[in-house]
Copies of this chain bind each other. A is one copy, B any other.
Amino acid sequence: MRNPTHAPFPLMKDEVDIVIPTIRTLDFLESWRPFFQPYHLIIVQDGDPSKTIKVPEGFDYDLYNRDDINRILGPKASCISYKESACRCFGFLISKKKYIYTIDDDCFVAKDPSGKEIDAVEQHIQNLITPSTPFFFNTLYDPYREGADFVRGYPFSMRSGVPTAVSHGLWLNIPDYDAPTQLVKPRERSTRYVDAVITIPKGTLYPMCGMNLAFDRELIGAAMYFGLLGDGQPFKRYDDMLAGWLSKVVCDHLGLGVKTGLPYIWHSKASDPFVNLKKEFNGLFWQEELIPFFQSVVLPKECTTAQQCYLELAKLVKENLASIDPYFIRLADAMVTWIEAWDEFNPPKPAA
């Protein structure tokens, strides 16, 4: 497993879907043409389904609007958020590929310090096909990377690592700040290129951003639900955070790894901090209770698949979080619906 030969990426193209939630013409794809054209795109159109989304020529894609989602999922479409980028998880559900890369439509190709354009998909896949090391921290960062290894004092029994389920990429230019921080630091830009990939240790939660994210659908797809947020719900702009807390709890329980760091994308513009503040309002309060709750969750050892773990989490959400707001009962129900839909579209593979 260590320092594996870099898989020839043309061979990986049939194993990756790129999922893009959007409400507008996808001009940003021009920036990604050399990098995304080899892959299949799943475009999830949010908002008014009668609007036409233009996609530049030459890309291999399927586009689904709200009418498509309703038609395909039937009553289970109720678990897919409307007017929230959480709708992207519809793409996760219907994909048949092993790996998902999902990116926001205001994210462009970034350059490394040498000026070279960064192939974000390649780096994410590299992160996913090499193991993670969640049980002990390696001070020279990713030990599987060329030119690095495990340092003195790293137990040999832990050097095989564990399968990597999630690869969380970062952002140059506009950092992913909440509305209060945006208001206080309107001019702050992310300019530091940190040349590292890190396994987030077992037992540690992190704020997972959906802007530049990849994962192994087979390992963790069922727990990559972005929740019931957006239109008509009191919880907004926390879709990726929710998915991050829950998928990390599931990864920790199942012995899977989560990495963060490279690759960077170029995040072109900050969303309106006043609009964001209105959307985030409840989440800013609730996260103070939600995070300690998910930090303390212990899943029963009988849960051995992402689906089982996720259904258990739905139960715990209903039992423990309804006291914060009745919304969490609806969320828990949507989590169960999500798993029902997941199982319908992703039936267990017959034994070999």
Evaluate whether A152 and B209 lie within 8 angstroms (CB atoms) in the complex, with A170-B140, A204-B201 already known: yes
Number of A positions contacting B (CB below 8 A): 59
Chain B residues, CB < 8 A from A6: none
A139-B168, A196-B196 known; A147+B188 contact, CB < 8 A: yes
The residue on B at minimum CB distance from A178 is: B152
Q: Which residue of B lies closest to A157 (CB)?
A: B288
Determine whether the beta carbon of B136 is less than 8 Å from that of A205.
yes
A339 close to chain B: CB less than 8 A: no
* Complex alpha-carbon distance, A291 and B188, angstroms: 41
Q: Is A9 among interface residues, defined by CB-CB distance under 8 A?
A: no
Least Cβ–Cβ distance between A310 and chain B, in angstroms: 20
Chain A at the B interface: SS class: loop
CB distance from A18 to the nearest CB of B (A): 21
Q: Which residue of B lies closest to A179 (CB)?
A: B152
Q: Given A156-B288, A201-B204, A203-B204: A150 and B192 within 8 A (CB)?
A: no
Q: Does A119 sit within 8 A of B, measured CB to CB?
A: no
Please tell me if A148 contacts chain B, counting CB pairs below 8 Å.
yes
Contacting residues, chain B, for A207 (C-beta < 8 A): 136-139, 151-154
Q: A141: which B residues are within 8 A, CB to CB?
A: 194
